[in-house]
Structure 1
Amino acid sequence: MEISNDKLNTRLNAYRIMWVLVFFDLPMETKKERRNYALFRKNILKDGFSMFQFSIYLRHCTSRESADTHVRRVKLMLPPKGHVGILVVTDKQFGQMEIFSGLSCVKPPETVQQLELF
């Protein structure tokens, strides 16, 4: 059985393309904590992350190296207090996620077509 180059490239890309997910639960009791929350959220948005759910942000990366770069950037943005989780998954794994809105199943976000300049 012969596999065409298009099918092979698609299959390989699904394992090469990465998604970075950032989960956070930050305190917001004082004015300083609210400022830290807003600054952290603003900085991850500036780095190309999009809100997936409240306190869950994600970013599409074209390679593991790109994902590692954005993980390092998030680590540099960490606020002094609170809990932050960072998860990196392949596009293949991300595509297997089941998402529901109420009782209805919905499609995961489409792969973002973006230009990265270094």
Structure 2
Amino acid sequence: MRLMIMFDLPMISSRDRRNYRRFRKHLIQEGFLMMQFSIYVRVCSNTQSAKAIERRVAALTPEAGLVQSVMLTEKQYQAMHFISGEPSTDILNSAERTIMI
């Protein structure tokens, strides 16, 4: 299971920029990896853990702007098409790093 967070936050005032930096920092601390500038993704063990992480992210979301999430199965994520550019071969962005106990 993958949890993807997509956001568009305002960057007008210094407060907006601070909120953006804090939100991005919290995503990274939660284990998200940047796919693109405003799209972060994280591998989750199951739907229940993805929903729990989604609730934690929602609690940290700034009031202004747009933040969206989507849960994808591994099969859906692996079926992603790259129209331009190359897919990352980084092990951090792979299902291989998930260990089930």
With the shorter chain as reference, the TM-score category is 0.7 to 0.9
CA RMSD in angstroms, aligned pairs only: 2.0
- Indicate whether 1:113 and 2:94 are aligned: no
Q: Which has the higher contact order (CA 8 A, sep 6+)?
A: 2
Question: Where does residue 64 of structure 1 map in the other structure?
Answer: 47
Which has the higher Rg, Structure 1 or Structure 2?
Answer: 1
Higher strand share: 1
- Indicate whether 1:73 and 2:56 are aligned: yes
Partner Cα separation in structure 2 for residue 37 and residue 107 of structure 1: 25
Structure 2 unaligned residues grouped into runs of 5+ = none
Query: How many percent identity over aligned positions?
Result: 38
Q: TM-score, normalised by structure 1?
A: 0.74
Structure 1 unaligned residues grouped into runs of 5+ = 1-17
Amino acid at match of 1:77: L
Question: Where does residue 21 of structure 2 map in the other structure?
Answer: 38
Question: Where does residue 11 of structure 1 map in the other structure?
Answer: none
Q: Is the 8 A contact 1:19 1:88 kept in 2?
A: yes
Amino acid at match of 2:87: V
Count of residues paired in the alignment? 97
